[in-house]
Amino acid sequence: MQMTPMIATGSYAINAPDVVAEDFDGKIVILNLGDGRYFSLDGIASQIWSLLVAGLSPAAILESIEAHQPSLTGRSSEFVDRLIELKLIRPQDAEAGNAQGPINETWSGEEPRIEVFDDLAELILADPIHDVDEQAGWPAPRPNP
């Protein structure tokens, strides 16, 4: 399978300060503080995320996947594009440089996927200090004018 031309060889970084992420034993949970959505990655998706935020370029990661699990290359490329589309990662400054070195991953398992949740968005975006109805108290939001 021919690797699709995709993102430039530059590196990407987590889109801080609006985006935060935590690794829970190989499962990545990402929170977008800007829109209140949170995301779950595991398996190969977690591996790709970890390498991206460590500064490796998408091109280098996809080359490694192509060499070890060619059947996962296309979906992995789409996954990286989705991370960019969701504004979870952004291009890293040129002076930050790219991480170099061999990628020692065992690319196995299912295709990368990202689960998106918005069920807590209203709560995550709430400002309990400023958005509280003074009469009713928390968690009653202040009525819109």
What's the pTM? 0.76
Cα–Cα distance, 55 to 32 (Å, whole number)? 20
Per-residue pLDDT tens digits for 35-84: 888 999 988 999 999 999 999 999 999 999 999 899 999 999 999 999 99
Answer with the residue of higher pLDDT: 80 or 33. Answer: 80
N-term to C-term CA, the chain: 57
Nearest to 131 by CA among 118, 139, 142: 142
pLDDT band at residue 96, thresholds of 50, 70 and 90?
A: low
Cα–Cα distance, 88 to 54 (Å, whole number)? 14
pLDDT of residue 74: 93
